[in-house]
Structure 1
Amino acid sequence: MTASAEPMPPTAQVRIDHESAVHLAATVARDTALRCGLDGASPDRAAAVASELASNLHKHARDGVCYVQPLPLGRGLEIAAVDRGPGMADLSRCLADGYTTTGTLGTGLGAVRRVATDFVVRSHVGHGTAASARIAAGAHTASAGVGSVCLPADGETACGDACAVRDTDAGRTGIVVDGLGHGEPAARAAHTALRTFDSTCALPLPEIMQALHRALRHTRGAAIGLLRLLPGRAEFCGVGNIRMCLVSADAPLQRQESRPGVVGWNLPTPQVRTTPVEAGRLVVLHSDGIEARWAHSPPPAMLRLPAELLPVALAHRHRRSRDDATALTLTVPR
């Protein structure tokens, strides 16, 4: 089982609206790498990757944002960049070392791909570009096929939302928590939920939910969604304002709502909904800080994004800035 007693810090968001923001993104990436326990040259590698991605946003894009966060699985960090720029008509050419459109040395995306443990990028002309560079403690990352974002409401430093993914013999299991309200009291509820999830994540989903309910009785409570992926099926158990969506570029998007209630205060009888799913499809869990309307008629370009990129794309385009916002994406195993 992959687990951690400490909750992940929330995602750091750096808007690239000025040249000085490039340096800020690099600083945030280096600091996050150190908080994630990376040593040696890794913090400097993280800073270099963030600098390159942020510099591209500053030079070529509009409404560009860098998101810096710990990996959803394993030790390491992720630096993601999303924009509403013109997009790249020839992505493979832009990834080649030495390619430049601005008269610079042209290290850019080719260097990012070389330095990062994993690098994923998608670009659509007229829609913009999304990229994720991950730097792991080892030669490989355990987070392939998993993506997340967890942002506090504007003006808050503590985040009342939280998410986690754990691998056990019972299957890959994810949780999204939305503590009631905002700020420190909501964050304490969310962190309590994650600690309980760490010790119960191999149990059946209803038993996990009941354990969470007991643990949250002395907090302000939370909305919680639990997701377990197994070959050929997805199991969902939710209470409150957490939604689940099955995403595919080739099939209609399927949505499931949680049951009304508050974990820790008034828990309905936990129910598991099992849905047949094909290998390779994405399943999204998100709090109500991500607008539900994103799933009504999403553009085809968004439906084609891999798990590593979909959460940050949702946050970039559909986040409610006055609320904590979390999205977690898992890929159905083969």
Structure 2
Amino acid sequence: MTLSFTAPTRPVRIDHYSAVHLAAEIARSVATECRLPGAIPDQAAVVASELASNIDKHASDGVLYIQPMPLGGGLEILAVDHGPGMPELQMCLTDGYSTAKTLGAGLGAVKRIATAFMIDTRPGIGTLVCARLALPGSAQAARQDVGLVCLPAENEQQCGDAAAIMDTGDVRTGAIVDGLGHGPEAAEAAQTALRSFRTAVERPLPDIVTAMHRALRHTRGAAVGLVRLHAERAEYCGIGNVRMVALSPNAVHHRLTGQPGVVGWRMPAPHTHRLPLPREAATVMHSDGIDLRWAHTPADFLLRLPMPMLAAAVAHRHRHVRDDAAVLAARLQPRNP
């Protein structure tokens, strides 16, 4: 069984050069929390500093998302911006390459340091980068095509939305929990539900929701969505306003939402939707902190992104800043087994 980390995402908005230093310090701190040994926390700080510096110099509306990797085993740093993109990507990935007109300074070093490195750049749209630094011997985890972002509402210190994903044998099961309201009580409900999820993860999806319902009886309750991925099919079970989208590189195939109710309070008998999916399909679940319209006519480039960058792009471009938001994206068959 592969366990997930459920620590919240640490967002760093790059709106001033001072944010570069802040991003480096947060990356070093999260790397230490992930128990990355030796010089890896300092390397994480270098990666965050270079990515933040590029955004500060060359782009706008940029942010770094710093967090443990979704399936554990290391640290993940995601960078998202609106900017000019990089017309000469391969040159930008060369150590020491820099220009005042395009991104690129330090990206060669970021690629060299990272255990896994992904980048997508679109002229006139912007750039997305995912750099993962893994524990020694955990390179496989760094290559998993899974993305997860959990962001607190504006001016909130704690996030009432939470997400987790776990592998058991050949099956991958993910959860999104939206604790009712905001703040510490919503965060407590969300984390309580995830503890129950981890304990019951190998059971049928309705049984997992029922276990969460019992665990949440003395909290304010939550909306819950569960997805289970098998080869070429998926299952979805949800209560409340958590949505699931199934998509492939060419189209959106399914859009589902949970049954009316509140887990922990008044909950109907949960039922499971079973969906056949193309081989290259993926699923995205999200709370109502994400505008559901993103999946009605998504941009073509979104459909083709690796899962870490898809989760970051949806969160960055389509979240309601006054609400907590969580996005979980996972492919049926990881691209890099």
After TM superposition, the score normalised by the length of structure 1 is 0.95
Aligned 8 A contact 2:250 2:300 in 1: no
The 5 Å alignment of 1:268-283 reads 268-283=268-283
Instruction: Measure the CA separation in 2 of the matches of 1:97 and 1:158.
Output: 38
Partner of 1:249: 249
Q: Does 1:83 align with 2:75?
A: no
Alpha-carbon deviation of 1:253?
A: 4.4
Q: Does 1:224 align with 2:192?
A: no
The 5 Å alignment of 1:174-185 reads 174-185=174-185
Partner of 2:197: 197
Alignment partner of 1:83: what SS? strand
Instruction: Measure the CA separation in 1 of the matches of 2:197 and 2:99.
Output: 48
The number of residue pairs the alignment matches comes to 331
- RMSD between aligned alpha carbons? 1.7
Gaps of 5+ in 1: none
Partner of 2:134: 136
Partner amino acid, structure 1, of 2:307: A
Alpha-carbon deviation of 1:280?
A: 2.4
The 5 Å alignment of 1:110-189 reads 110-139=108-137, 140-143=139-142, 144-169=144-169, 171-189=171-189
Partner of 1:15: 13
Partner amino acid, structure 2, of 1:142: A
Instruction: Measure the CA separation in 2 of the matches of 1:98 and 1:46.
Output: 18
Q: In percent, how many aligned pairs have the same letter?
A: 56
Cα deviations by residue, 1:181-238 (Å, 9 ceiling, x for unpaired): 1111011111111111111101111111111111111111100000000001010001
The 5 Å alignment of 1:250-329 reads 250-329=250-329
Cα deviations by residue, 1:136-187 (Å, 9 ceiling, x for unpaired): 1124042511001000111111111110011113611000000001111011
Aligned 8 A contact 1:217 1:264 in 2: yes
Aligned 8 A contact 2:237 2:258 in 1: yes
Partner of 2:66: 68
Aligned 8 A contact 1:150 1:161 in 2: yes
Alpha-carbon deviation of 1:266?
A: 1.2
Instruction: Measure the CA separation in 2 of the matches of 1:247 and 1:59.
Output: 35
Alignment partner of 2:274: what SS? strand
Alignment partner of 2:60: what SS? coil
Runs of 4+ aligned structure 1 residues displaced above 3 Å come to none
Alignment partner of 2:308: what SS? coil
**Which deviates further from its counterpart, 182-191 or 31-40?**
31-40
Partner amino acid, structure 2, of 1:222: A
Aligned 8 A contact 2:245 2:252 in 1: no
Structure 1 residues 253 and 130, CA gap change in structure 2 (3 angstroms): farther
Cα deviations by residue, 1:36-71 (Å, 9 ceiling, x for unpaired): 121211110100000010011011111111111111
